[in-house]
Chains A and B, each alone.
Chain A
Amino acid sequence: MAGSTAADPICTDEPLLRLESLKVYFRAARGLVRAVDGVSVALERGRTLGIVGESGSGKSVLARSVLRLLPERSTIQTGGRILFDGQDLCRLSESELRRIRGRRIAMVFQDPMTSLNPVIPIGRQIAQVLKYHLGMAPKAASARALDLLASVGVPSPRQRLEEFPHQLSGGMRQRVMIALALACDPELLIADEPTTALDVTVQAQILDLLHRQQNERGMTLILISHDLGVVAKLADRIAVMYAGRIVEQASAEALFGDMRMPYTAALFRSIPKLANPSHTRLEAIDGRPPDLAGELRGCRFAPRCRFAGDRCRDEEPPLGRKPPDHEYACWHPMHLTARGGNA
């Protein structure tokens, strides 16, 4: 599927979303936490960007900062631009931003239980969004809510309209969240760990749903996950985050065909693979990610990297671009292919 969209003529030169050296810092008791520290990424219309990273890598902060959903009191955005359709979201006022949130850019979060209002029937929650953003009449809004629920695969949607979030299963709630996010036909959908709380069989259903909705609506998608497998399933392009930075970025094909950054390779190797015989020794990454409030010198992965040399510890490698379209930040790049690893 990646192949067909790659050749698609709707991909124009101007990307729908472009982050330019975005930096998001937090004030915390232990100091300044550099959660996102100079991230640049571009995403063309209709494509899917997968962001992979472990907890604390800054991937969720990155997603939230696009819509400026982070607490203003403790956040300092020191630099960078968030260009959405040519407009810098950092310069918009709160009211201008509200016209974009939910309408042109929508989000789906990990925990559908806490993202839905527990005391309002789900039909009314969807209708409210339609009334607020599109100014729809109550009747039209509820009719549209019904259509949306049906389109995301909620069985007997008419009956579900009246139900409360706690009456639904986790998978159904996530479908409702997706319906809510799709209500205003957004151009960009940001899904932050949308399947992490779900069982594998339901995860497969939700990923399929996201994929279909994206194709039907020509929507652009950012899929954030800690699971390389989930991202591999949908993404055209994959960015690997570590300690607040993108350390490797390429098309899914290129990345899995040739992982250059040792962190990406280590992450890949530490996943237990079904195809391997049981009791296969996993290649764990020793240690833990650096404290983002502390002093960071050299390559951030160096303390845990098997290939690290003196240069890695002293000098930070830039995110270099290798033709045709593979970026990675490493002084000692390597080669690992997913297929080779699987064989």
Chain B
Amino acid sequence: MSADVLEGLEAIARTEARRRRRSIVDFMLLWAPIAWLVLVVGAAALADWLPLPSPNDQDLADILATPGSVHLFGGDSLGRDVLARTIFALRISLVAGVGAVAIGLVVGGLVGTLAGYFGGRVESVAMGAMDIVLAFPPLVLAIAITSGAGPALLKVILAIGVLFVPAFARIARANTLVFGNKEFVLAAHAMGMRHSRIILSEILPNLVPPLLVYSLLMVAVAIVAEASLSFLGLSVPPPAPSLGSMIAAEQRNVLDAPFVVFFPAAVLFLTVLTLNMAGEQVSRRLQVREQLL
């Protein structure tokens, strides 16, 4: 017996080494995106207090200035500091991303949970409404909403948020169906719990993990959507900086001063990428826990 156990232990030791190497990679995959996101969110949140030039101050001497100690990311075609503009643009991107997801999550989550829980006519009406939203060409819907009156950023958030509602509703409904059919929900009914309470305290905690993962991914999608809308001139009006409009405005200078487009584009790319990676990691970690449940 002992010889076999030794052999088994050796096999374990071999896999342990492999696992340790893998765990370093895992560690980086989780923490590098988080570090970047913390940096980006922190910079955007503290933009007003950072020692930056104003994003809208024009200086003729700095037109298309190369990156250096004065302008870390260089200057744009109107001589404005690209770093400052990128950070202020990020603020708009993040607000738009989180805001749009919040709308989608709250409205879609509510609609989907109620549809999945009550079924029948509630479900047909709710999911029918979702299908109608989905049937609208997204761009037309976005243009329709942004052309209305009101603050531009709010309209952008609303436009993207409305487009997200059906997807959140579907996820919430599918998961409610799964958990609503479990016996602990039946047991709650048998105890005499009200519907509102069953939804809040029995079903909702089980919807958090899938909706959380999806929200992280959708923030990234919303940021790209905001950038696309601002590229088309449908987001915040100039001179307010926005990643999309910065790229759009400097298109023609791309050959002379590539950094003017590169920095905002790189920041956009990295932010979206890291959000996706973080979502993936969270979902993987939750899945491991899920398997234990």
Using a CB–CB distance below 8 Å, which chain A residues touch chain B? 23, 25, 27, 32, 38, 76, 78-79
Q: Which residue of B lies closest to A31 (CB)?
A: B12
Cross-chain contact A78 with B7 (CB below 8 angstroms): yes
Interface flag for B4 (CB, 8 Å):
yes
CA A123 – CA B15 in complex, angstroms? 45
Question: B17: which A residues are within 8 A, CB to CB?
Answer: none
Cross-chain contact A38 with B8 (CB below 8 angstroms): no
Interface flag for B11 (CB, 8 Å):
yes
Cross-chain contact B4 with A32 (CB below 8 angstroms): no
For this complex, 12 residue pairs linking A to B, each with C-beta atoms less than 8 Å apart, are A25-B8, A27-B12, A27-B15, A32-B8, A32-B9, A32-B12, A38-B1, A76-B8, A78-B4, A78-B7, A79-B4, A79-B7
CA A76 – CA B13 in complex, angstroms? 13
Q: Which residue of B lies closest to A80 (CB)?
A: B4
Question: A79: which B residues are within 8 A, CB to CB?
Answer: 4, 7
Question: A23: which B residues are within 8 A, CB to CB?
Answer: 4
Q: Interface of chain A, helix or strand or loop or mixed?
A: strand
- Minimal beta-carbon separation of B61 from chain A (angstroms): 62
Q: Interface of chain B, helix or strand or loop or mixed?
A: helix
CA A72 – CA B8 in complex, angstroms? 15
Question: A25: which B residues are within 8 A, CB to CB?
Answer: 8
How does the 8 Å CB contact mask read for B177-208 relative to A, with 1 for contact and 0 for none?
Answer: 00000000000000000000000000000000
Question: A38: which B residues are within 8 A, CB to CB?
Answer: 1
Q: Which residue of A lies closest to B19 (CB)?
A: A27
- Minimal beta-carbon separation of B277 from chain A (angstroms): 23
- Minimal beta-carbon separation of A297 from chain B (angstroms): 12
Q: Which residue of A lies closest to B292 (CB)?
A: A29
Q: Which residue of B lies closest to A38 (CB)?
A: B1
Q: Which residue of A lies closest to B7 (CB)?
A: A78
CA A32 – CA B15 in complex, angstroms? 11
Among A23, A38, A78, which residue has the most Cβ atoms of chain B within 10 A? A78
- Minimal beta-carbon separation of B120 from chain A (angstroms): 26
Question: B4: which A residues are within 8 A, CB to CB?
Answer: 23, 78-79
- Minimal beta-carbon separation of B243 from chain A (angstroms): 42
CA A210 – CA B70 in complex, angstroms? 86
CA A76 – CA B7 in complex, angstroms? 10
CA A23 – CA B11 in complex, angstroms? 14
Q: 14 additional contacts, CB 8 Å, given A25-B8, A78-B4?
A: A23-B4, A27-B11, A27-B12, A27-B15, A32-B9, A32-B12, A38-B1, A76-B8, A76-B11, A78-B5, A78-B7, A78-B8, A78-B11, A79-B4
Question: B15: which A residues are within 8 A, CB to CB?
Answer: 27
Q: Which residue of A lies closest to B6 (CB)?
A: A78
How does the 8 Å CB contact mask read for B5-48 relative to A, with 1 for contact and 0 for none?
Answer: 10111011001000000000000000000000000000000000
- Minimal beta-carbon separation of A319 from chain B (angstroms): 13
- Minimal beta-carbon separation of B2 from chain A (angstroms): 11
- Minimal beta-carbon separation of A28 from chain B (angstroms): 11
- Minimal beta-carbon separation of A264 from chain B (angstroms): 23
Question: A32: which B residues are within 8 A, CB to CB?
Answer: 8-9, 12
Q: Which residue of B lies closest to A37 (CB)?
A: B1
CA A206 – CA B66 in complex, angstroms? 83
CA A78 – CA B12 in complex, angstroms? 12
CA A38 – CA B15 in complex, angstroms? 23
- Minimal beta-carbon separation of A107 from chain B (angstroms): 26
- Minimal beta-carbon separation of A187 from chain B (angstroms): 30
CA A79 – CA B1 in complex, angstroms? 9
How does the 8 Å CB contact mask read for B86-107 relative to A, with 1 for contact and 0 for none?
Answer: 0000000000000000000000
Q: Which residue of B lies closest to A74 (CB)?
A: B15
CA A67 – CA B99 in complex, angstroms? 56
CA A38 – CA B7 in complex, angstroms? 14
CA A38 – CA B5 in complex, angstroms? 11
Question: B7: which A residues are within 8 A, CB to CB?
Answer: 78-79
CA A38 – CA B1 in complex, angstroms? 8
- Minimal beta-carbon separation of A331 from chain B (angstroms): 18
Q: Which residue of B lies closest to A76 (CB)?
A: B11
Q: Which residue of A lies closest to B12 (CB)?
A: A32
CA A23 – CA B15 in complex, angstroms? 19
- Minimal beta-carbon separation of B76 from chain A (angstroms): 53
How does the 8 Å CB contact mask read for B215-240 relative to A, with 1 for contact and 0 for none?
Answer: 00000000000000000000000000
**What are the nearest 4 A-B pairs in CB distance?**
A79-B4, A78-B4, A78-B8, A78-B7
- Minimal beta-carbon separation of A313 from chain B (angstroms): 18
Q: Which residue of B lies closest to A34 (CB)?
A: B8
Question: B8: which A residues are within 8 A, CB to CB?
Answer: 25, 32, 76, 78
Question: A78: which B residues are within 8 A, CB to CB?
Answer: 4-5, 7-8, 11
Q: Which residue of A lies closest to B11 (CB)?
A: A76
Question: B11: which A residues are within 8 A, CB to CB?
Answer: 27, 76, 78
CA A76 – CA B14 in complex, angstroms? 12
CA A25 – CA B9 in complex, angstroms? 11
CA A91 – CA B5 in complex, angstroms? 21
Among B4, B11, B15, which residue has the most Cβ atoms of chain A within 10 A? B4
- Minimal beta-carbon separation of B174 from chain A (angstroms): 21
CA A78 – CA B1 in complex, angstroms? 10
CA A76 – CA B8 in complex, angstroms? 7
- Minimal beta-carbon separation of A34 from chain B (angstroms): 8
CA A27 – CA B7 in complex, angstroms? 13
